Amino acid sequence: MERDTVLLKDSGEDIAAAAELIRSGNVVAVPTETVYGLCADAVNEAAVRAVFAAKGRPADNPLIVHLSDFSEAVKYTKSIPELAYRLAERFCPGPLTMVLPKNDRIPMITSGGLETVGIRVPSHPVMHRIIQLSGCAIAAPSANISGLPSPTCAAHVMDDMKGRIAAVVDGGESRFGVESTVISFEGENSVRILRPGAVTRKMLLEICEEVIVDPAILKELEEGSIAASPGMKYKHYSPKADVVMVEGELDRFIEYISENYGENVYSLIFDGDADNFPYRYVTYGADSEEQAHFLFQRLRELDEIGADKVYVRAPSKDGVGLAVYNRLIRAAGFEVIRV
Ligand code: AMP
Ligand code: MG
């Protein structure tokens, strides 16, 4: 249904208006420290259905539920391991989502048919205030059309969601630029990373004895296998252009581009590569933190300038680099070339 989408500011008055819209069953896009989220009351089935419809999201891809404080998690879960409390003490509020057994207050539509629910406590002051004022647990996937790069500013959200949702709150650029780290619990002192994000394996190892990186983070799921995290099975984060990841040194990368160059072919390279780079390019930061911050923004820009083919210099897999690599390999539909 086509409707007006109101652009709200991050003023006290507009934040209160956004919270009231959510409380009364509407869908509103809100800035968070990871990316912008498409927010609805997590226990209101009609509102959650409207989120899936606005995104065109497959019904089996669960929504993360956002709370104002981790102590609220008892209201929506059957049990919480002791390790979760220790992790919450260190990483909540922040970009960490913990998968826990859900209770009956969380509708099946919110959890994508699973008996578990991902719980996160965002640190962004606007999102935090909206959760508090609405009094709701807020289900919020990334505020993009399903399959497209996640939005890191209000203009990206408007590009995808104008006419589909009630309002967008403009809170500037998202700090991290990639979605939260999603973990599940394996044992008393052990977790599994289902989706990498700004909370890195090394950071989790400060609290947990064992941190398993799910194999589906770096490679394509085999046909017929079951995804530990449903989002892993979908092609994701893709601009219109065909993306190919190229692993190797800069001189070999340049050689490869020279052999595959043509109209509307672009390279997505590191800041330090740009001096004397002989072909059309866009840069995406100098280190993993910057690459995470800029990646989705640059993928959207490449569409705007009309790129048909994008060769990306493969990022480091260290630290938050693992999250950047994970998003890019999905944007590339797992097409990786080693030079
Ligand atoms: P998004 O809403 O776009 O940030 O994507 C959320 C992702 O988190 C989903 O695609 C899943 O991969 C993961 N996720 C959310 N809830 C669960 C859950 N209960 N179990 C496993 N993975 C989950
Ligand atoms: Mg998403």
Domains annotated for the chain, with CATH where assigned, are: 6-169 (3.90.870.10), 242-338 (3.40.50.11030)
Look at residues 90, 64, 87, 58 and name the one whose alpha carbon lies nearest to residue 76.
64
| % of residues, the chain, pLDDT over 90 | 91
Output the CA 282–ligand 2 centroid distance in Å.
Answer: 23
Q: What pLDDT shows up at residue 219? A: 84
Beta carbon of 227 within 6 Å of any ligand 1 atom? no
Least confident span in 10-19, 158-167, 232-241, 303-312: 232-241
pLDDT of 220 > 90? The answer is: no
Residue from 106, 160, 184, 229 whose mutation best tests the ligand 1 pocket (most atoms within 8 A of CB): 229
Tell whether ligand 1 has an atom less than 6 A from the beta carbon of residue 58: no
| Residue 174 reports pLDDT greater than 90 | yes
Give the whole-angstrom CA distance, residue 60 versus residue 195. 17
Neighbour tally for 158: CB within 10 Å: 18
Quick: pLDDT tens for 65-93. Answer: 999 999 999 999 999 999 999 999 999 99
The stretch 133-159 carries a mean pLDDT of: 97
Q: Of 58, 37, 54, which is closest to residue 46 (Cα–Cα)?
A: 54
CB of 141 closer than 6 angstroms to any ligand 1 atom? yes
Residue 141 alpha carbon to ligand 2 centre in Å: 6
Q: Which residues pair with 39 in a beta bridge?
A: 28
pLDDT tens, position by position, 247-290: 999 999 999 999 999 999 999 999 999 998 999 999 999 999 99
Residue 2 is predicted with a pLDDT of 66
Out of 96, 106, 115, 195, mutate this one to test ligand 1's pocket (max ligand atoms within 8 Å of CB): namely: 195
Quote the strand ranges of the chain, DSSP E.
6-8, 28-30, 37-41, 65-66, 96-101, 116-120, 138-139, 167-169, 181-187, 190-195, 210-213, 242-247, 265-269, 281-283, 309-313, 336-338
Q: Residue 238 Cα, ligand 2 centroid: separation in angstroms?
A: 11
231 lines ligand 1 (CB under 6 A): yes
**Above pLDDT 70, what percent of the chain?**
99
- Would the CB of 64 count as within 6 Å of ligand 1? yes
Please tell me the predicted confidence (pLDDT) of residue 238.
Answer: 81
182 lines ligand 1 (CB under 6 A): yes
Strand pairing report for 265-269 and 281-283: parallel
Residue 1 has pLDDT above 70, yes or no: no
Which residues, including other chains, have CB under 8 Å from residue 13's CB and lie 6 or more apart?
A: none
Mean of all residue pLDDT scores within the chain:
95
- With a 6 A CB cut-off, is 151 part of the ligand 1 pocket? no
Q: Which two tokens stand for residue 122?
A: 């965002």
CA neighbours closer than 13 Å in the CB half-sphere of residue 327: 30
| 99 Cβ closer than 6 Å to some ligand 1 atom | yes
The helix-helix angle for 288-304 and 321-331 (nearest 10°) equals 20
Digit-coded pLDDT (tens) for 316-336: 999 999 999 999 999 999 999
Q: What is the pLDDT of residue 225?
A: 74
Whether pLDDT at 186 is above 80 = yes
Rounded to an integer, the average pLDDT of 215-244 is: 81
Who surrounds ion ligand 2 at CB < 5 A?
142
Span 96-126, pLDDT tens digits: 999 999 999 999 999 999 999 999 999 999 9
| Cα atoms found within 13 Å of the Cα of residue 69, Cβ hemisphere only | 4
144 lines ligand 1 (CB under 6 A): no
Distance, in Å, from the CA atom of 36 to the CA atom of 169, rounded to the nearest integer, reads: 9
pLDDT in tens, 44-62: 999 999 999 999 999 999 9
Q: What is the pLDDT of residue 253?
A: 97
Ligand nearest to the CA of 221: 1
